[in-house]
A and B are shown apart, each in its own frame.
Chain A
Amino acid sequence: AQSVAQPEDQVNVAEGNPLTVKCTYSVSGNPYLFWYVQYPNRGLQFLLKYITGDNLVKGSYGFEAEFNKSQTSFHLKKPSALVSDSALYFCAVRDIGGYQFYFGTGTSLTVIP
């Protein structure tokens, strides 16, 4: 069975500081991991994905994620947070057999001016 966990419901960070949103995964086989962001009353926007290759994945809007196989983690990072980054962030894994996404419970990020 495939699953992801987001251990933090809420993350607060000051504008200009680096941010990290945590995600751990549990999969059978190779992991296919994704990050999405959701703004209020909107759908999910794709940020980045890890399929294979480099452990550091670069995505949209200056976000990047670090894949760590030994720790089964896929943390989302950004060197310098913006107030506009405040949103709900979801980590997800693609199921190998059925192709559906299994989403984490989401982390609400607030960037404080």
Chain B
Amino acid sequence: KAGVTQTPRYLIKTRGQQVTLSCSPISGHRSVSWYQQTPGQGLQFLFEYFSETQRNKGNFPGRFSGRQFSNSRSEMNVSTLELGDSALYLCASSLERAVNTEAFFGQGTRLTVV
């Protein structure tokens, strides 16, 4: 069974640009979450999608958005990039929305804003 796939693996963007990251969850998994990982702030929750609907959102500005498609694939978009958006963005999929369910993470997309 294929794992969580994130594309692209690496991105370099200029301040002010926008970027779209993609995530394909494990087949059959309906919940997709996104996390930002930085050396200073650690792992922080961005948002979660289930059945094409955003179910939960972390404390990030409106420049960060996402969506989920009918096949559970998800994209996140960051507009008007800032230097501080440089991070590893991780996507995680779970079979269900449940507290006792583990999540499986992709390898991440390393975004560098210059």
Q: CB within 8 Å of B: which residues of A?
A: 32, 34, 36, 41-46, 49, 51, 90, 94-96, 98-106
Contact = CB atoms under 8 A, between A and B. Distances in A.
Nearest to A106: B42
Interface stretch (B14-22, B77-85, B102-110): B102-110
A42 B6 CA distance: 11
Chain A interface, DSSP helix/strand/loop, else mixed: loop
Contacts of B105: 36, 43-46
Interface in B11-63: 31, 33, 35, 42-43, 45, 48, 55-56, 58
A102 B48 CA distance: 13
B100 A44 contact: no
Contact of B107 (A42, A90, A101): A42
B2 interface: no
Contact of A103 (B6, B33, B43, B48): B43
Chain B interface, DSSP helix/strand/loop, else mixed: strand
A32 B100 contact: yes
12 contacts: A32-B100, A43-B90, A43-B108, A46-B102, A49-B102, A51-B99, A51-B100, A96-B99, A99-B48, A99-B99, A100-B56, A105-B42
Interface residues of B, number: 26
A111 B40 CA distance: 25
A96 B90 CA distance: 21
A73 B104 CA distance: 24
The 8 closest A-B pairs by CB, nearest first: A43-B105, A103-B43, A100-B45, A44-B105, A98-B56, A51-B100, A32-B99, A94-B99
Interface string B83-114: 00000001010000111101111111010000
Given A42-B107, A43-B105, A44-B90, A101 B45 contact: yes
B64 to A, nearest CB: 14
A94 B102 CA distance: 9
Nearest to A90: B43
A45 B106 CA distance: 9
A106 B6 CA distance: 23
Nearest to B56: A98
